[in-house]
Structure 1
Amino acid sequence: MNVTVVKRPMTPGVRLGRVSFVWRPRIALVTLTLTVAAFLVFCLSIAVGDFPLGLPRVIATLFGGGEQVDQFVIMDLRMPRAAAGLVVGIALGVSGAITQSIARNPLASPDILGITGGAGAVAVFLVTMSGGAAAAVTGSVGLSGAALAGGFLTGLLVYVMAWRRGIDGFRLILIGLSVSAVMEAITTWLLVTADIRDVARAQAWLVGSLDNRSWDEVGVALWGTLAVMVVVVCVGFQFKPMHFGDDVAAGLGVRYSLVRAVLLLCAVLLAGFAVSAAGPVPFVALVAPQVAMRLTKSPTPPMVAAGLTGALLLIGADLVARTVLPVSLPVGVVTAAIGGPFLVYLLVRANRR
């Protein structure tokens, strides 16, 4: 009997000193394309407004040129909103990619796991229960800090409750759904019992919006996201063998329990920073990793591409909410309109399997 051996081409590798990685041209091309698209949409978001600016003027001003009036309009008036969309989109995209990779489930995202719900509940508590004595605390920076603390504590609670000699993806999602329902109930109770003026402010924040962002809010989210991303990059190389199972990862010397815990903590912090800057914007963390995975044809959500997709999705949705729709709406309304049908698609696809 004749046996034919088919040799498949190996994926080329690249070595830089002691660091080596696999070179995948499609992922690199898609990531580059997403980077350019996100930058162009970012500039377009700055250019559109009551005082319209052309893209060349915006790009020239961003790189240090432009007239004085352009610098004032772009850097002082419009840049905080666009920068918030960029930072929040990247943070939510990477956070969703991490949680979906850990749980090995496309439905695992900060929205589903209750992280954004916990952040919203704490922020609403601060708004509705503060009263006049704590009016200074309920400013924009205080509200962002409360949301960050709420998201972190909720994520920690979900992780502790889901831990049973390890993390099982199905159990993590079920506990996250339960915690999310409890947080929504607490938020509803706070809104029902609060003063009507505080309710209006809390509802506007709960929808998720990029309106009236300040450099203080953007700065906290930006530097916090950058710090967490450094940790993600350092730990990410050890996370890749875990896609083949814990036994394979342990055989390669990976301390998978510690790596999983660190990455899940990073996902919680990224979601917390995102919520602190823009409120609980729904479905970005769910949709972005899945779209990036399909674009790159990767078996798992790619973190860099997911972050860029999240930024592109959020800034684009904000641009649509401001210009295309007849009435200006918060960006969370547009992302919910996009993410709701996509969630149904994922459920139908999983049910067919």
Structure 2
Amino acid sequence: MRAQRKGPRRRRALITGSLGALVFALLTVNILLGSYTVTIPDFLAMLGGRTIPGASFIVMETKLPQALLGLLAGASFGVAGAIFQSMLRNPLASPDIIGISYGASATAVAAVVLFGVRGAGVSVAAIIGALVVALLITVLARGRGGTGLILIGIGAAAFMQAAVTFLLSRADLRNAQDAMVWLSGSLNSANWERVAILAVALLFLLPLTAAGSHQLHGLTLGDDTASGLGFNVPRARLLLTIVGVLLAALPTAAAGPIAFVAFLSGPIAKRLNGGVASLHLAALVGAAIVLAANFAAVNAIPGISLPVGVVTGALGAPFLLWLLISSNRANQGG
């Protein structure tokens, strides 16, 4: 019995350590390498307060904030996706598929285009939009199960996308250009204010996520089974939904709706963990996806810095098609 219990624990520890090392390596690569390289001694000297002409601004005001924002945003998206996918027991139930991320995007764009809001105000608008859309699709999908919620969420996402298009058509050229870059999911405008806001928010949200992980494991068994085991299903769903929405809305406000990170992280982490959902592994996978995609986006085409969402979208779209095709075949019995 002890040997059987130690096996999965060792596997989980090995996977966690390997993913942690990968994330650290990708973080280092994003900071030190690329179109402008810096040595480790120079980077440590800059962290200690030394000013190196040219290098200090590029590294400390551009590359380091971008890398840290990518790390935090990827981890947040990864956990948000894993929460909804596990709670609804469907890999399609990620915030960027069921409309929550689009709700955050629509209200954030409205705040920028219509009211000229910047900074923390955009984050507040994104949170409000995500919560409203999550409440709307939950109410409309009541009694229809997880599949009904996903279908309603896809419809809500289409409506929000149309709203964003309308807002952009009414915006002046400068605001429209800024919004389009942000809507692609980009770390190019990262700064220390955005990093600080997202970091402080995650300091409050991640303990709540850890507290709700036990209830999440119960919900993966189904509502009836979870109730039979003593779980308060409505309260657990409410807590996890609020936390999941906030974890999706905050990085969306900071870096835009980086496509498919929430969608990809949970299934990849689950596959690595032997078919068992894991929030902390999903966070590491999400961080690794964003950091790797950002390095590719910045350095793939010399002289052009692509939005990171372009790369993650290119990775996620084939996976979505494969998932839809495989699910359709399974429903048809072959």
User: What is the TM-score normalised by the length of structure 1?
Assistant: 0.85
Q: Which residue matches 2:18?
A: 33
Distance 1:211 1:72, change over 3 A: closer
Q: Which residue matches 2:293?
A: 317
Q: Counterparts of 2:124 and 2:261 in 1: how far apart (Å)?
A: 21
Q: Which residue matches 2:263?
A: 286
User: What is the TM-score normalised by the length of structure 2?
Assistant: 0.90
Q: Counterparts of 2:201 and 2:329 in 1: how far apart (Å)?
A: 40
Q: Which residue matches 1:305?
A: 281
Q: Counterparts of 2:227 and 2:127 in 1: how far apart (Å)?
A: 34
Describe the SS at the equivalent of 2:310: helix
Q: Counterparts of 1:212 and 1:155 in 2: how far apart (Å)?
A: 28
Q: Counterparts of 1:49 and 1:140 in 2: how far apart (Å)?
A: 28
Describe the SS at the equivalent of 1:244: coil
Between 244-253 and 303-312, the greater mean CA deviation after superposition: 244-253
- C-alpha displacement of 1:57: 5.2
Q: Counterparts of 1:57 and 1:352 in 2: how far apart (Å)?
A: 55
Unaligned runs of 5+ in 1: 1-7, 14-21
Superposed, which structure 2 residues align to 1:182-201 within 5 Å? 182-201=159-178
Q: Which residue matches 1:3?
A: none
Superposed, which structure 2 residues align to 1:162-201 within 5 Å? 162-164=141-143, 168-201=145-178
Q: Counterparts of 1:123 and 1:235 in 2: how far apart (Å)?
A: 28
- Tell me the alpha carbon deviations over residues 310-336 of structure 1, each in whole angstroms, 9 at most, x when there is no partner: 000001100001112343211011111
- Tell me the alpha carbon deviations over residues 242-283 of structure 1, each in whole angstroms, 9 at most, x when there is no partner: 322223222221112211221111110000111011011110
- C-alpha displacement of 1:92: 0.3
Q: Is the CA contact (8 Å cut-off) linking 1:43 and 1:55 kept in structure 2?
A: no
Aligned length: 327
- The question of 1:213 aligning with 2:213 is answered no
When Rg is computed on C-alpha atoms for both structures, the one with the higher figure is 1
Q: Counterparts of 1:315 and 1:61 in 2: how far apart (Å)?
A: 24
- Tell me the alpha carbon deviations over residues 207-266 of structure 1, each in whole angstroms, 9 at most, x when there is no partner: 110012121111111111221111110121232133222232222211122112211111
Q: Which residue matches 1:98?
A: 83
**Larger relative helix fraction:** 2
Q: Counterparts of 1:94 and 1:182 in 2: how far apart (Å)?
A: 25
Q: Which residue matches 1:159?
A: 138
Superposed, which structure 2 residues align to 1:28-107 within 5 Å? 28-49=13-34, 51-55=36-40, 58=43, 60=44, 67-69=50-52, 74-107=59-92
- C-alpha displacement of 1:79: 1.9
Between 289-298 and 150-159, the greater mean CA deviation after superposition: 150-159
Q: CA RMSD in A?
A: 2.3
Q: Is the CA contact (8 Å cut-off) linking 1:288 and 1:310 kept in structure 2?
A: yes
Q: Counterparts of 1:73 and 1:202 in 2: how far apart (Å)?
A: 24
Describe the SS at the equivalent of 1:24: helix
Q: Which residue matches 1:344?
A: 321
Q: Which residue matches 1:124?
A: 109
Q: Which residue matches 2:5?
A: 12
Q: Is the CA contact (8 Å cut-off) linking 2:258 and 2:308 kept in structure 1?
A: yes
Q: Which residue matches 1:143?
A: 122
Describe the SS at the equivalent of 2:299: helix
Q: Is the CA contact (8 Å cut-off) linking 2:62 and 2:191 kept in structure 1?
A: no
- The question of 1:226 aligning with 2:203 is answered yes
Q: Sequence identity, in percent?
A: 38
Q: Which residue matches 2:243?
A: 266
Distance 1:61 1:257, change over 3 A: farther
- Tell me the alpha carbon deviations over residues 156-192 of structure 1, each in whole angstroms, 9 at most, x when there is no partner: 222232233xx72112101111111111111111122
Unaligned runs of 5+ in 2: none
- C-alpha displacement of 1:26: 1.4
Q: Counterparts of 1:61 and 1:175 in 2: how far apart (Å)?
A: 53
What amino acid is the match of 2:25?
L
Q: Counterparts of 1:153 and 1:118 in 2: how far apart (Å)?
A: 8
Q: Which residue matches 1:18?
A: none
Q: Is the CA contact (8 Å cut-off) linking 1:321 and 1:331 kept in structure 2?
A: yes
Describe the SS at the equivalent of 1:110: coil
- C-alpha displacement of 1:141: 3.0
Distance 1:55 1:287, change over 3 A: farther
Q: Counterparts of 2:40 and 2:148 in 1: how far apart (Å)?
A: 48
Q: Counterparts of 2:160 and 2:262 in 1: how far apart (Å)?
A: 19
- The question of 1:253 aligning with 2:230 is answered yes
